[in-house]
Structure 1
Amino acid sequence: MSKPTVPISVPQYFSRTYTRSLDNLKGVEFIDLSLNNLAGPIPSLNTLYYLNFLNLSNNMLQREVPKQGIFLNASGVFFSGKAKLWGGISTLGLPKCSSKSV
């Protein structure tokens, strides 16, 4: 029996900072928030145990990438675009540190 799919639509060019409401999507496996103007830090999403794909490309996210949850799977996380990110696991290929973090 396949798992149910629940589409969640976020309009493109949505502009906000991350809200804790994503943490309530316990069974979600796929999140694509690309092509928006999401700003602020990257959420840890460490309560989303089934998440295996996260696309945050082309947003305005900033700060250090978490080293837990989906962020341990470099093939399941996408960040291309204007983001100013650093840290995370080495296979993500991000800079190790930002002058803003010191």
Structure 2
Amino acid sequence: MSKPTVPISVPQYFSRTYTRSLDNLKGVEFIDLSLNNLAGPIPSLNTLYYLNFLNLSNNMLQREVPKQGIFLNASGVFLSGKAKLWGGISTLGLPKCSSKSV
């Protein structure tokens, strides 16, 4: 028996900072918020235990990438584009620290 799938559509060029409401999507497996103008720190999403694909590419996110949850799976995380991110696991290929903190 397969799990039910609920499609969630976020319009491109959506603009705002991350809100904790994503943390309420406990059973979500796939999140694609690419091509938006999301700003601020990258969310940890550490309560989304079933998440296996996360695309935050081409947003304005900044700060350190968490080293937990989905961010431990480099093949399921996409962060390319305009973001100013650092840290995370080495296989994500991000700088080790912010250039501002050096």
Inter-partner Cα distance in structure 2 for 1:3 and 1:101? 45
Give the drift of 1:9.
1.0
5+ unaligned residues in a row in structure 1: which ranges?
none
Q: What SS does the corresponding residue of 2:70 show, helix, strand or coil?
A: helix
* Deviations 1:8-52, CA, capped at 9 Å, x for gaps: 111100000000000000000000000000000000000000000
* Deviations 1:55-101, CA, capped at 9 Å, x for gaps: 00010000000000000000000011100000000010000001334
Inter-partner Cα distance in structure 1 for 2:69 and 2:100? 24
Q: What SS does the corresponding residue of 2:86 show, helix, strand or coil?
A: strand
Inter-partner Cα distance in structure 1 for 2:68 and 2:87? 12
Q: What SS does the corresponding residue of 1:62 show, helix, strand or coil?
A: strand
Q: What SS does the corresponding residue of 2:85 show, helix, strand or coil?
A: strand
Q: Equivalent pairs: percent with the same residue?
A: 99
Q: What SS does the corresponding residue of 1:57 show, helix, strand or coil?
A: coil
- Please name the residue that 2:80 is paired with: 80
Superposition TM-score, scaled by structure 2 size: 0.97
- Misfit runs of 4+, over 2 Å: 99-102
5+ unaligned residues in a row in structure 2: which ranges?
none
- Count of residue pairs the alignment pairs up: 102
Inter-partner Cα distance in structure 2 for 1:44 and 1:87? 13
Q: Could you say what the CA RMSD is over the residues aligned between the two structures, in angstroms?
A: 0.9
Q: What SS does the corresponding residue of 2:17 show, helix, strand or coil?
A: coil
Inter-partner Cα distance in structure 2 for 1:45 and 1:70? 8
